[in-house]
Structure formats: structure tokens, C-alpha cells
Amino acid sequence: MSAAPGVTTTPNNGYKLRAEQLGVVYARNGNAVAALEDINLDIKDGEFICIVGPSGCGKSTLLNAMGGFLPPTSGSVTIDGEAVRGPDRRRILVFQERGVFPWLTVEGNIGFGLSKLPRAERKERIAHYVQMVRLQGFEQSYPSDLSGGMRQRLQVARALAVNPDILFLDEPFGALDSITRVMMRAELLRIWLTERRTIVFVTHDIDEAVQLADRVVVLSSRPAKIQEILTIDIPHPRNISSPRYLTLRDELLKQIGLAYEI
Amino acid sequence: MQLSVRLRPVIFILVLLIAWELAVRMHSGLLVPGPFAVAAAIVELLYHGLLLKYVVASLFRVTWGFVLACITAIPLGLALGWYRRGELAFNPLSQIFRPISPLAWIPIAILWFGVGDLSAIFLIFVGSFFPLLLTAMSAVHNIPAVYVNAGRNFGLNSSAFVVRVLYPAVMPQLLVGMRITLGIAWLVVVAAEMIAVNSGLGFLIVDARNAGNRYDLVVAGMVVIGVIGLLLDLGMRSLEQMKSFQWRSSEE
């Protein structure tokens, strides 16, 4: 954490989140293992960023460092010009699975971060997000009674309910079957287009990245560096058989080194 | 089909009771009573008001010893499980104390507390403390990191974190540990009452033998102990079945 708040010369230049020369080194079995190296990334307010890369390359590490769950070894992450020093309810991380609290009902989970609100307002907020993620009729259900897709929608609702600036999603649909996954992408896009939060989305699914993102960040294998940032200049709703889509998809596959090997 | 499945244990018990009665009749002259004699003994105890008195006495000791162990061992175990350093410091001590049977403490209990309720309560406390401590520590270790991170993410302070994440997350495992420990406590109380007090179901068994080889009363005491142990276990199980506690089984 080298940059203190206020030391940043230009207040993020209109960027929401800024990673500068970010590096993370792990200690594993007594050896220092570099997970991230020299990550420089600027994310605009309201932007949808996907992070892709080979498995185990450090995508989640990058997300955890940006979310404040992992202190960087070198460099810094600043949000609105303020250095990230730990987890914060203004930016919520959505986990791949088991992220919802199994001892709380759907309502209890969505209201988890709202305990300080007055009763009526809390109720209203919960109802709003129950509707947004289409869980009406399941308000009193426990997560064990929901399907995997419903649980992930619940987790997104719990995150959105506290009105965060940034949503970090760590392979949120990775444990779902492929049909549910496609439906969940559409749901997330619909929510993003109405709420316009900044989203940083880690995935190992190339199609997911090209369908969702404004920009796709490609990480190299370990230690992860930014290999390429690809702008997806197709307006929503995206036609996934359009030539432009296929070109960008091919480009992304080539970046990961897969294009001619399948 | 359903009914016959339910009846199966009942039929099995009936067969055993008949075999027991036949065996006793074929070898008359032994001191071991048959089921009718035992039933008569239970009625006799009820009639004299002793059964209720002794059951209440035993349950009273178990409740105090067990509750005291719960309110000390569980918070301590949770704290030690959370702060690994504390656990490392405490571990050797608990490993030494744990294998000592609570019954080995009987002489010291009598030395400290004399013959009476306090001794029995102390023995139950000692017998319950370490199992509960270890359960609480391992329950904390088993909390998925996701819950802890989610709790931190929503900005909970430490006391809110304990109440809203830690406590519900450890509850299912804790309840299983409490049920098993209550079984241990019930074993210990009978042993303790044989030596350290003058009432209760354990005392009934020893007293009936000493006061004229009333083996019908001895077996009656055993039957009552078994039935109450079963009821305690069923009670704890029904707690485990409560919807907001039972998440673990369905989640994994």
C-alpha cells in the first residue's frame, strides 16, 4: 500500500477503480510465489469488465486484491481516489457458490446488510430486490430449497441491496449447468442495464466474456500480467452469430492461445 | 408396509421380554428378576413417590453440570478456535485432561465439595467440559471462508459478526456435540450418584442392592435410566431438526 489517499496526483482521472503496478506474492510451503505482477488497470464508472485467463493464473487473486480481501504486496488499488484498505460494503464480492447464508431465508439474506435501515424502508428494499431477481413467492424459503441459479440470483440481490458502487463477481455462474448459465447472463445484463453499477466479473468462459463485457481483460499465465485488453464494441442486445461477435470471440481465443487447437 | 416397519422394533422388544421371562422361570432361584417383577418394582417406586424424587434429583444435577459446562466451554472453545494462537497454547493442557475419565475425579470432588449435589454437579461439569470445548473449536475451524468473507464484506463489527455469522454457522455442529455430551453427562451422573450422594437413580441402584439384594429395584432403576437417556437424546435431536439449524445436512 504505497499510495496514501490524497497522494494520487490526478483524482483517478474520472476512473472509478484504478490498479497501479499491482503485485501480489504468496508464501507457499516457504517459497514465495508471485501471483500477480505489474497490473495496471483503469475501470470507468458503470463499466462492465470481464477478466479471463488460464485457470489458476490469478484471476481470483486480482479480484480479491481489488475488493480489499487481500493486501497487495506492491503497488496499489484506489477507488474514487481512495486507497483500498480492506473489505467495504460499498463494493460487494459475489462468490462462486455457497455464498448465501444457509441459516437465513431469502428475505433474511437480502436484508443481511440492511440492519441499520428503519423497518419499513428495509422491507421495501427487500421486496424491490426480490422482484428484481425474480424470487417472488420464495421470500420465506431457505437456500437449501432453492436451485443453484436461484441461489446465485439471491446472492446478487443481497449484494445489490446495500447499494454498492462496485460489484465483484468471482465466476458467479461457474457451478451452474450451461442452460441456467445462459439465462443468468441475460438476468445479470438486464440488472446491469437498469442499475448501471460498475461490474468486475471473473470468468473462464470466453463466450460469457464476449456476451457481457464492455472490455475484456486477458491475463497471462502465472505470474499473471495483463496480456491484452479487448474492447467489445457491440451494443446490447448482442447477436451472438454476428460476424463482429465471432471476430472478437476468435481474437479472444487466440489471445488465450486456443484458436487453432480445438 | 409402513405400519409393519414401525411395528418391527416393538415386536422385537416383545420377543426379548418373553425370552427374558422364560429364561428367568426356567432357572428359578437366581436373583435376577423377570420383566413382571421389574414392572412391579417400578410401580412400587412410583407408589412411594421415590421414582419421581430420584428422577428429579438426577436431572437436576445433570442440568446444572451440563449447563455450566455449556456456558463456559462453548464460548472458550469458540474463542480458542478463532484465535489459532490461543488454541496452540491451550492444546497440550486439554490433551492431557481429556483422556482422564470424569470418574477419576470422584475422590477429588468429594474432597472439595463433600458428599452432596455439588460433587455430582462438578463431576458432570468435568465430564462435559472437554467434549464441548473440542466440539466448539472444531466447529469454528469448519466455518466456510465464504461466510466469514461475506460477513466482513457487509461491514459487520465484531459483536455483530459473532451474533449474525459465527453463531449461526457453528450451530449445527455444536448441537450434535451437545447431544453427544448430554449422553456422556447422563452416564456420569449415575456413576457419581453411586458414590457421592444419597439420592438419584444411581443411588437407587446401589442402595437397592445393599439393602437386601432387591435386584428387581436395581433393574427397575436401569430401565428408568435407559428411558430417560432416550428421551434426552430425542429432545436434542428435535432441536437439531429445527429448520434454521439443519442447514448443514442439506447444503453438503
Q: How far apart are CA A209 and CA B163, in angstroms?
A: 39
Report helix, strand or coil for B66: helix
For chain B, give the mean pLDDT.
Answer: 88
Give the minimum alpha-carbon distance from B147 to chain A in angstroms, rounded to a whole number.
7
Q: Taking chain B, what is the end-to-end CA distance rounded to the nearest angstrom?
A: 31
Q: Do A93 and B153 touch (CB under 8 A)?
A: yes
Rounded average pLDDT over B139-167: 91
Residue among A69, A88, A144 whose CB faces B155 most closely: A88
Place B1 in a pLDDT band, splitting at 50, 70 and 90. low
Q: Do B154 and A67 touch (CB under 8 A)?
A: no
What region does B103 belong to: left with phi over 0, alpha with psi -120 to 50, or beta? alpha
Give the minimum alpha-carbon distance from B136 to chain A in angstroms, rounded to a whole number.
18
| Residue B5 placed within a domain | no
Q: Where are the alpha helices (DSSP H) in A99-168?
A: 106-110, 119-132, 148-161
Q: Where are the alpha helices (DSSP H) in B48-83?
A: 50-82
Boundaries of every domain in chain A = 46-71+83-256
Question: B111: domain CATH number?
Answer: 1.10.3720.10
Cα–chain center distance at A222? 20
- The per-residue pLDDT for range B217-249, each reduced to its tens digit, is 899 999 999 999 999 999 998 888 876 566 644
Instruction: Using the predicted structure, report yes or no on whether residue A130 has a pLDDT greater than 60.
Output: yes
Give A103's contacts in chain B (Cβ within 8 Å): 168-169, 171, 244-245, 247
Place A196 in a pLDDT band, splitting at 50, 70 and 90. confident
| Residue B70 placed within a domain | yes
Residue A180 neighbours by CB under 8 Å, 6+ apart: A147, A148, A149, A173
Place A4 in a pLDDT band, splitting at 50, 70 and 90. very low
ipTM of the prediction: 0.84
Instruction: Using the predicted structure, report yes or no on whether residue B252 has a pLDDT greater than 50.
Output: no
DSSP-assigned beta bridge partners for residue A32: A27
| Residue A19 confidence (pLDDT) | 92
Rounded average pLDDT over A37-62: 90
| Residue B239 confidence (pLDDT) | 85
Q: Do B153 and A67 touch (CB under 8 A)?
A: yes
**Residue B83: all three cell numbers together:** 484465535
Instruction: Using the predicted structure, report yes or no on whether residue B29 has a pLDDT greater than 90.
Output: no
- The per-residue pLDDT for range B101-123, each reduced to its tens digit, is 888 998 999 899 988 889 999 99
Instruction: Using the predicted structure, report yes or no on whether residue A261 has a pLDDT greater than 60.
Output: no
Among A9-13, A245-249, B86-90, B95-99, name the one with the lowest average pLDDT: A9-13
Residue among B146, B168, B247 whose CB faces A95 most closely: B146
| Residue B135 placed within a domain | yes
Q: Do B244 and A103 touch (CB under 8 A)?
A: yes
**Residue B230: all three cell numbers together:** 432416550
Rounded average pLDDT over B117-140: 93
- Answer yes or no: are the C-beta atoms of A16 and A166 closer than 8 Å: yes
Multiple choice CATH, A46-71+83-256, 3.40.980.20, 3.30.56.10, 3.40.50.1000, 3.40.50.300: 3.40.50.300
| Residue A5 confidence (pLDDT) | 45
Instruction: Using the predicted structure, report yes or no on whether residue A77 has a pLDDT greater than 90.
Output: yes
Q: How far apart are CA A60 and CA A170, in angstroms?
A: 6
Instruction: Using the predicted structure, report yes or no on whether residue A3 has a pLDDT greater than 70.
Output: no
Report helix, strand or coil for A80: coil
Domain with B201, as residue range(s), is 46-245
**Residue A134: all three cell numbers together:** 425474480
Give A162's contacts in chain B (Cβ within 8 Å): 154
Nearest CA in chain B to A147: B251
Q: From residue A163, how far is each of A14, A126, A133, A179 by CA, in Å? A: 20, 12, 15, 29
| Residue B37 placed within a domain | no
| Residue B212 placed within a domain | yes
| Residue B222 confidence (pLDDT) | 92
Rounded average pLDDT over B155-170: 90
Instruction: Using the predicted structure, report yes or no on whether residue A191 has a pLDDT greater than 50.
Output: yes
Rounded average pLDDT over A139-151: 91
Give B144's contacts in chain A (Cβ within 8 Å): 98
Q: Do A89 and B168 touch (CB under 8 A)?
A: no
- The per-residue pLDDT for range A19-30, each reduced to its tens digit, is 999 999 988 888
Q: How far apart are CA A34 and CA B76, in angstroms?
A: 38
Instruction: Using the predicted structure, report yes or no on whether residue A91 has a pLDDT greater than 70.
Output: yes
Of residues A57 and B245, more confidently modeled = A57
Give the minimum alpha-carbon distance from A216 to chain B in angstroms, rounded to a whole number.
25
- The per-residue pLDDT for range B171-213, each reduced to its tens digit, is 989 999 999 999 999 999 998 898 878 889 999 999 888 887 8
Rounded average pLDDT over B32-45: 88
The Cβ-side half-sphere exposure at B41, using a 13 Å CA radius, reads 21
Sheet holding A166-170, edge to edge: A91-94, A166-170, A198-202, A48-52, A215-219, A226-231
| Residue B98 placed within a domain | yes
Q: How far apart are CA B94 and CA B87, in angstroms?
A: 10
Nearest CA in chain A to B244: A103
B235 reaches A (C-beta below 8 A): no
**Measuring CA to CA, which residue among A185, A198, A124, A186 is closest to residue A159?**
A198
| Residue B244 confidence (pLDDT) | 59
For chain A, give the mean pLDDT.
Answer: 87
Give A69's contacts in chain B (Cβ within 8 Å): 149, 152-153
**Measuring CA to CA, which residue among A145, A141, A134 is closest to residue A186?**
A134
B144 reaches A (C-beta below 8 A): yes
| Residue B247 confidence (pLDDT) | 61
| Residue B162 placed within a domain | yes
Give the minimum alpha-carbon distance from A246 to chain B in angstroms, rounded to a whole number.
36
Place A133 in a pLDDT band, splitting at 50, 70 and 90. confident
Q: From residue B235, how far is each of A46, A88, A227, A257, B229 by CA, in Å? A: 54, 42, 61, 61, 10
**Measuring CA to CA, which residue among A179, A176, A187 is closest to residue A153?**
A187
Place A259 in a pLDDT band, splitting at 50, 70 and 90. low
| Residue B20 placed within a domain | no
Sheet holding A74-79, edge to edge: A31-44, A15-28, A74-79, A82-83
Q: How far apart are CA B250 and CA B157, in angstroms?
A: 29
Place A7 in a pLDDT band, splitting at 50, 70 and 90. very low
In chain B, the number of structural domains is 1
Rounded average pLDDT over A229-253: 90
